[in-house]
Structure 1
């Protein structure tokens, strides 16, 4: 774990709970994970529960690497996929609080040769997925660039700039990874720093989080991801190196530690906490097919009717759910390196166990 520094060194966990609280919550939590991953012989999942920034339970089941037989443990690193978006949104809120940018700024202010439509798209539209811009994965694939071909941030931005939005900006929620690639680009323009370095300096290091924004890199301790077909597992990976929309590498335990910033505002203060939910836009039922109930999309996070926060991440065989309780005291993260488990349901079950 040399790449993911910042807190006390990893402990030699097997699978199972870290703490004992004298009740049956650990046992019930372990049962949720076992139901999620019945077999230890294939890919699996890791899960963690945090209370006010402290990890109170974490465990892993299944294999992190089928070739070597390495098991998933609480120290296994995963690509958190779209759960990375909250850091990009919070970075924009942080800079807005410092008056270094305004969410009402047009996207055209941050592009060297902007298309005409970029004058009508604001940074707020990007953050809340109301820009109407097509997902860059679709744009690249339309040009014959598959996820197995090399492509990075500049290729994605060039494809976006050359495209036309699918709908007028500001009208309706339409989830697109392009929004967060462009938002990260705008943050780089403002700060003059590589976006991964900015996150490290402003979020990961101050909060002592073992996290790293590193696309298409096998950091030490990282799980391999897999596709399954007819009971056979095939390694899944992509050389794409876009960021802003994904690619934070971490463990579930570190993510539930991060969640406490939604309670304390240690980074960003009350302005950031207000900005996370203020102006959130209705997503209707467009995410229901992915197991996400109706809610409002705020700053890189979905706000549910009960005021809990939730987001999913799915990228090249990695699948994660992150959820924070309405009172912001408790958080859960479940992440898997295979396609089949219902990690969203498991996260809800774990949160119920620890907030009952």
Structure 2
């Protein structure tokens, strides 16, 4: 594979350094207002035409110690983790170690639910029950960490009821992505954390990115603490140790490296990624679809973007990529106070609505 084969997009002549600087100042103003009026606490990195036009940090990594945030502060990514798990599956598919249409029993022989494929896990169409709910009832001691193998054991022994028959409808599933991490382990012969480090984080020089472990998360000052209402610290619990659906930790700076790598073929071929960014059906009543680890949405500008949000134990995250102008909006927050509900304002600023005729031109250009 040609690792350095990049998909370039030329910045127009009108996108001068002066224009980029002005845009960055406007983004800063947006987040400053979000910080002052809505209590946003976190870090931000915004790009356009592959250039960083803005990076910023607002508030504290820990409200009690008053450690201030920087763009090097590490955050729990919550469900933004799912795209990494999906790419790990894609890498193994390219290596011939799995097929999207394999049933789960190929890798987990005693898995009690039949007729579920890897593709259905990737696209949230398995209908499986959510382990974050059933483990609350079935896990005997919440002081003991829950592992991916423990989730599999609970499902094999207790067989909690499915929500839907496989492939009937979209049903967002943390269980599905936790199972994908187990599939990565079985297909690769490596622990999931080791596979991610060796095949994704280290090759991309994402030196501040890793999967959950207690020692790393306890690094005071380097890692943000999650906070819930009233700025109360949310400590990790027994479910944090399940990986695949969440459990990745990173910085906005490292996520920029990830964003840029997805325009190359360093990890997987372009056709493989294009399939991951292709709609697989409507997401319930929302005007968007889901690929493999990414939500897909057409904006009022006419651009089709891929994005994902995350919410977990005091962390709220948001990562949007627009392939049309190689721009991205990366936001990591360690205070779940609803401030990220206002990302639409940032989107509308970055991608203002265009007349319908211009939207059609954008869609045709993007399809080429």
One fold, TM greater than 0.5?
A: yes
The 1:121–1:102 alpha-carbon spacing in structure 2 relative to 1, beyond 3 Å, is same
Match of 1:182 among 155, 162, 179: 179
Partner of 1:302 in structure 2?
Answer: 295
Distance 1:60 1:274 in 2: 33
1:230-241 equivalences under 5 Å are 233-240=232-239, 241=241
Match of 1:114 in 2: 111
Contact persistence 1:49–1:253 (CA under 8 A): no
Equivalent residue number for residue 151 of structure 1: 146
- What SS does the aligned partner of 1:64 have? strand
Question: Against the structure 1 CA distance between its residues 280 and 344, is the aligned structure 2 distance closer, same or farther, given a 3 Å change threshold?
Answer: farther
Question: What RMSD, in angstroms, separates the aligned Cα atoms of the two structures?
Answer: 2.5
**1:51-90, aligned counterparts within 5 Å?**
51=48, 53-90=50-87
CA distance in 2, matches of 1:54, 1:24: 14
Q: Equivalents in 1 of 2:152, 2:335: separation in Å? A: 29
TM-score by length of 1: 0.83
2:131 matched residue in structure 1: 136
SS at match of 1:154: helix
Residues 215 and 112 (structure 1), Cα distance of their counterparts in 2 relative to 1, 3 Å cut = farther
The corresponding residue for 1:213 is 211
1:277 shift after superposition: 2.2
Number of residue equivalences: 325
Rounded to whole Å, the distance in 2 between the matches of 1:157 and 1:142 is: 15
Distance verdict in 2 for CA 1:174–1:251, change over 3 Å: same
1:35 equivalenced with 2:33 (yes/no): yes
Do 2:28 and 2:54's aligned partners in 1 also have CA atoms closer than 8 Å?
no
CA distance in 2 between partners of 1:333 and 1:353 (Å): 15
The offset of 1:275, in angstroms, is: 2.4
Check 1:43–1:158 CA distance in 2 against 1; reply closer, same or farther (3 A cut). farther
Separation in 2, partners of 1:113, 1:37: 49
Task: Tell me the residue number matched to 1:222.
Answer: 223
* Cα pair 1:26 1:57 within 8 Å, conserved: yes
- 1:16 alignment partner in structure 2: none
| TM-score normalized with structure 2 length | 0.81
Q: Could you give the per-residue CA deviations for residues 54-77 of structure 1, whole angstroms, max 9, x where no partner exists?
A: 533211111111222101111111
Match in the other structure for 1:103: 100
Q: Secondary structure at the match of 2:229?
A: strand
Describe the SS at the equivalent of 1:37: helix
Q: Which residue of structure 1 lines up, in the alignment, with residue 165 of structure 2?
A: 168
Instruction: Assess, with a 3 A threshold, how the Cα gap between structure 1 residues 100 and 156 changes in structure 2: closer, same or farther.
Output: same
Which stretch has the larger CA shift, 319-328 or 209-218? Answer: 209-218
Q: Which has the higher helix share?
A: 2
Alpha-carbon distance between aligned partners in 2 of 1:279 and 1:352, rounded to the nearest angstrom: 22
Q: Distance in 2 between matches of 1:24 and 1:176?
A: 41
**For residues 199-210 of structure 1, what are the structure 2 equivalents within 5 Å?**
199-210=196-207
Check whether the contact 1:325–1:351 (CA below 8 A) recurs between aligned residues.
no
State how far apart, in whole Å, the 2-side matches of 1:123 and 1:22 are. 42
Structure 2 gap ranges (5+)? 1-16, 353-368
CA-CA distance at 1:271 after TM superposition: 3.0
Deviations 1:287-322 (A, max 9, x none): xxxxxx521111100011342001011110100011
